[in-house]
Structure 1
Amino acid sequence: MVEINAIEKVKQDGVFAQITSLGHEQLVFCYDEPTGLKAIIGIHNTVLGPALGGTRMWNYASDEEAITDVLRLSRGMTFKNAISGLNLGGGKAVIIGDPAKKNEAFLRRFGRFVDSLGGKYITAEDVNMKTSDIEYMAMETKHVTGLPETRGGGGDPSPVTAYGTYLGMKASAKKVYGNDSLNGKKVIVQGVGQVGKYLVERLIKEGAQVFVTDIFEDKLMQVAKATGATAINPADVYSFDADIYAPCALGATLNDETIPQLKVQIVAGAANNQLKDDQKHGLMLMDRGITYAPDFLINAGGVINVYAEFIGGYNRDVAYAQTEKIYDTCLDILNKAEKENIPAQEAAMQLALKRINDMGKVKLSY
């Protein structure tokens, strides 16, 4: 879930040291005894607009693990929203506990906490959250997006996230192979939740040889049977002989232990914070000649989709048209990285930060 070193850093240095080092504006702790709600909202940067990012619910092993996760995720949303051209800052929320225990009262109470921030943070779906959960939150706050289509919202953003990831994968293939066809390419999809499942469907349709894995065997076998993909053991993912590795589960799967095992030429997936350390592991991939499609760039389809709803009058065609820009942006980033001899993640972060800095100057000028 979250790397041990980062958790220990929170314990040793303290929360404020971590907030300062990562550049956060605010960290909000939420607790409600009657419902048992324990949540943390991280607001990283609001230069471009209110912080938007989903809420995930996870049974974290410790409070430090949850803090580390929300800090990394909210920071990632700043880069994601900026590089996607959205007028949004970066934020994220985590709810600590068993997702099976959430109910109306629990979710509405969390909605009140979101509302208490006065629009500085806007929430949406993430891991273990559904559009129906957002409906409950919306009973207590208007600062939500990702409502069901029956409520005029964009519905489940997972298909759009998968589409953007697919386009980023094709752009990477164009860079590596000279054309963007995935026909016949061996692709490992790690994690076949909502996004992973839709990605598999697109890859199969294009004629890729798809290998899937997941820590939940029932889900794995269900997707393999439905799509025709080949199920493999989770332990074999990193050393599996393939062309492309698509991490679509949780973060930090690219680290000291896994990168030396990789036999792929491309890493392009939908998971957040895939690099355990942005700089170190970005360089490791580059040194091994592996092309990395920056995660916060190619998995931005979901936030693009909910942004289309947030600005009013949701239009699916507009959301998909904006998402299609991921292909060209990804190719530009990969070319920039090659030209400047820097990791693709660094090239993408430079572009995102430039937009934030430029717009910050515009806002300060009046």
Structure 2
Amino acid sequence: MAMLTRAADTISESGNDHEQVVWCRDQRTGLKAVIAIHSTALGPALGGTRFHPYASEGDAVKDVLDLSRGMSYKNALAGVDFGGGKAVVIGDPRPAADGGTKSEELLSAYGRFVQSLSGRYITACDVGTQSADMDVVGSQCAYTLGRSAELGGSGDSSILTAYGVFQAMRACAQSRWGSPSLHARRVGIAGVGKVGRRLAEHLTAAGATVVVTDPREDAVDRVRRAHPGIEAAPHTDTLITRPLDIYAPCAMSAALNYRTVSRMSASVVCGAANNQLARPDVADLLQRRGILYAPDYVVNAGGVIQVSAERSGESFDKTKAKVAEIFDTTTEIFGQAAAEGVPPTTAADRIARQRIALAAEHDAPLFLDRGHLRGALKSSL
């Protein structure tokens, strides 16, 4: 009961700008999940399902509220006609047969909850969920993206998420060192799961020196077997103090706080994790320390671009070309931020809010192609 009270307090304190928060409980399967719809001004709320063993329901609610708000901004800046939403399932993401919480019955029950929202929320993969899981959810729900290619889906969204992070990292290099080349740059990746592992592949191919860490030894071992030149750090606290050019948080939220930023050696932060700033004012600390921060929801938008293309039937090659434009968007945000002397998050937040507000005024999605998005960036500051 105490946990439920704390969760309700979290909603009242942090979720007052959300359109809808839905509790999903199924006694038979043990499902405990929360779906948060932040905004549908640009279209149905699109966001993945995170499966994670939260310490409390209050922690789960806080995460889903923050993540869904970030999805609104991410989708606005990605130029896709979707609002922002997110879901979290509370539990161990390992299969039930291996001692975890995840089962086909539980995912099916979750799919029925998503279906009950009649398309206001569209789900896809996130931390702890795979395309195979979305296949199960999709058996009960018409509002599921990121399904297996064999079933007509776009497959693993981590492929283009990692590619987009790589393009944003090139934009960081261009802004910081005058060239988009990452050759001989020393990059530390915290978290080498789905996205971090693929990012390491791009960086190795580009000639970067890569150092990785992950609490799962098997994840580190897999990356190092594929790329023997990659180094390993025992944990994130060690990684951030090593000599690095770029630090890439690619695991859970709130990786950047006063302690980590104060100890950081890198002069650039660009990673795939959602909601990297533990508090908004951490962006100011990064700015004071001269660390260039690429806003996470700009950087990691490749996945939503990929799954939105699944809905429209766009080809993979055309979608990949759109994801490559994350380089341009990141570069333009850096330029506007520098011109105004504000952190890049301020510039990015402003254009995202502008697009959402304009769509709300017109009571319909306001599509911005890349050219219009660039114009909006220039006029927003």
In the superposition, the TM-score normalised over structure 2's length comes to 0.90
With over 3 angstroms needed to count, the CA separation of the structure-2 counterparts of 1:11 and 1:108, relative to structure 1, is: closer
Aligned to 1:159: 159
Tell me the residue number matched to 1:190.
190
1:18 aligns with 14
Deviates more, 1:238-247 or 1:223-232: 223-232
Instruction: Measure the CA separation in 2 of the matches of 1:318 and 1:203.
Output: 23
Q: Does 1:132 align with 2:132?
A: yes
Asked whether 1:45 is paired with 2:45, we answer: no
2:289 aligns with: 288
Match of 1:4 in 2: none
Cα deviations by residue, 1:210-251 (Å, 9 ceiling, x for unpaired) = 001101112112212211311112130221111000000111
Which residue in the other structure is 1:104 paired with?
104
Q: Is residue 7–residue 59 contact of structure 2 (8 Å, CA) maintained in 1?
A: no
Cα distance in 2 between the residues matched to 1:98 and 1:179: 43
CA distance in 1 between counterparts of 2:15 and 2:187 reads: 37
Per-residue deviation, 1:334: 0.5
CA distance, structure 1, for counterparts of residue 185 and residue 67 of structure 2 = 31
Distance, in Å, in 2 between the alignment partners of 1:12 and 1:301 is 33
The share of aligned pairs that are identical, in percent, is: 44
Does residue 236 of the first structure (1) align with residue 238 of the second (2)? Answer: yes
Counterpart code for 1:26: Q
Q: Is the 8 A contact 1:170 1:180 kept in 2?
A: yes
For 2:211, give the aligned amino acid: F
8 Å CA contact 1:152, 1:314 repeated in 2: no
Distance 1:237 1:200 in 2: 15
Q: 77, 81, 101: which is aligned to 1:87?
A: 81
Q: 2:375: which partner in 1? A: none
* Native 8 Å contact 2:10 2:61 kept in 1: no
Cα distance in structure 1, aligned partners of 2:326 and 2:351: 13
Aligned to 1:73: 67
Q: Which residue of 2 aligns with 1:143?
A: 143
Work out whether residues 137 and 144 of structure 2, in 8 Å CA contact, stay in contact via their aligned partners in 1.
yes
8 Å contact from structure 1 (residues 153, 314) kept in 2: no
Is 1:36 aligned with 2:37?
no
Tell me which residue corresponds to 2:258.
256
CA–CA distance in structure 2, aligned partners of residues 99 and 14 of structure 1? 24
Aligned-partner SS, 2:34: strand
**Alignment partner of 1:133: what SS?**
helix
**Aligned-pair distance for 1:13?**
4.6
Displacement of 1:269 in angstroms is 0.4
CA 1:10–1:267: 2 relative to 1, 3 Å: farther
Q: Secondary structure at the match of 1:174?
A: helix
In 2, distance between residues paired with 1:241 and 1:276?
A: 23
Alpha-carbon displacement from aligned partner over 1:255-284 (angstroms, at most 9, x marks no partner)? 011001111111000000111112x10000
Distance 1:304 1:146 in 2: 11
Work out the CA distance in 1 between the residues paired with 2:18 and 2:273. Answer: 22
Distance in 2 (CA, whole Å) between partners of 1:186 and 1:38 is 41
CA RMSD of aligned residues (A): 1.6
> Amino acid of the residue matched to residue 36 of structure 1?
G
Secondary structure in 1 matching 2:333: helix
| Distance in 2 of aligned mates of 1:92 and 1:113 | 13
- 1:3 corresponds in structure 2 to none
The answer on whether the counterparts of 2:7 and 2:57 sit within 8 Å (CA) in structure 1 is no
Counterpart amino acid of residue 170 in structure 2: K
User: Following the alignment from structure 2 to structure 1, what is the Cα–Cα distance between the partners of residues 93 and 256?
Assistant: 26
Cα distance in structure 2, aligned partners of 1:78 and 1:297: 11
**Structure 1 residue 363: deviation in Å?**
2.5
CA-CA distance at 1:310 after TM superposition: 1.8
**Maintained 8 Å contact 1:212/1:224:** no
Post-superposition CA distance 1:283-324 (Å, at most 9, x none):
00000001011100010001110000122x241012111111
8 Å CA contact 1:55–1:124 kept in 2: the answer is: yes
Is 2:269 aligned against 1:267? yes
Q: Secondary structure of the equivalent of 2:143?
A: coil
The one-letter code of the counterpart of 1:59 is P
SS of the aligned residue for 1:257 comes to: helix
Residue 376 of structure 2 aligns with which residue? Answer: none
For residues 265 and 314 of structure 2, the distance between their equivalents in structure 1, rounded to whole angstroms, comes to: 42
For residues 45-90 of structure 1, the C-alpha deviation after alignment (integer angstroms, 9 at most, x for no partner) is 1000000000011111101000011001000000000001110000
1:15 maps to a residue whose letter is I
Query: What are the Cα deviations for residues 193-212 of structure 1, in whole angstroms up to 9, with x where unaligned?
Result: 01000000000001000001
Give the count of matched residue pairs: 354
Q: Report 1:316-331 matches (<5 A).
A: 316-331=316-331
How far, CA to CA, are the matches of 2:297 and 2:310 in structure 1? 20
5+ residue gaps in structure 2? 95-100, 366-381
